[in-house]
């Protein structure tokens, strides 16, 4: 009986040790997504909020000077297409994916691309 308890405790310890050392399948990646229709810091905030709702996204940085979003995410939980969909769903173009036109129409004027005359 004592030997069985000892073996059981040893097994539990080994499995706990394996779990604690990070036998994780996470695959962290960072990608850059062009957001050419973003116009202001409100746009940047909207894009950041939309991306942070995507499962697996850990970091978002919007650079309005070059209109590029850097996104760090777990590739086992999401993919670039889902990131682009989150941005387009917020009303902004993401790479070559067009913004959701109904959402874009509801954005404040400062978030819309100026019309040329």
Residue (of 59, 56, 48) closest to 87 by Cα position: 48
pTM (2 d.p.): 0.78
- Residues 45/49/52/55 CA torsion (nearest 10 deg): -150
Q: State residue 55 phi and psi, 5-degree precision.
A: -60, 125
The predicted pLDDT at position 13 comes to 46
- Rounded distance between C-alpha atoms, residue 15 and residue 59, angstroms: 31
Q: What pLDDT band is residue 20 in, cutting at 50, 70 and 90? A: very low
- Rounded distance between C-alpha atoms, residue 94 and residue 33, angstroms: 6
Q: What are 47's two structure tokens?
A: 């894009």
Average pLDDT, stretch 22-33?
A: 83
Query: Which pLDDT tens digit goes with each residue over 31-82?
Result: 999 999 999 999 999 999 999 999 999 999 999 999 999 999 999 999 999 9
- Rounded distance between C-alpha atoms, residue 32 and residue 19, angstroms: 32
């Amino acid at each position: 009986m004592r030997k069985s308890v000892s073996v059981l405790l040893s097994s539990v310890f080994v499995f706990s040790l394996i779990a604690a050392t990070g036998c994780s399948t996470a695959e962290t990646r960072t990608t850059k997504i062009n957001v050419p229709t973003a116009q202001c810091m409100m746009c940047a905030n909207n894009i950041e909020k939309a991306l942070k709702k995507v499962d697996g996204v850990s970091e978002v940085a919007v650079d309005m000077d070059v209109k590029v979003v850097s996104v760090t995410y777990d590739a086992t939980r999401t993919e670039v297409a889902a990131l682009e969909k989150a941005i387009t769903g917020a009303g902004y173009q993401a790479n070559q994916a067009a913004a959701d036109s109904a959402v874009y129409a509801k954005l404040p004027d400062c978030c819309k691309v100026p019309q040329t005359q």
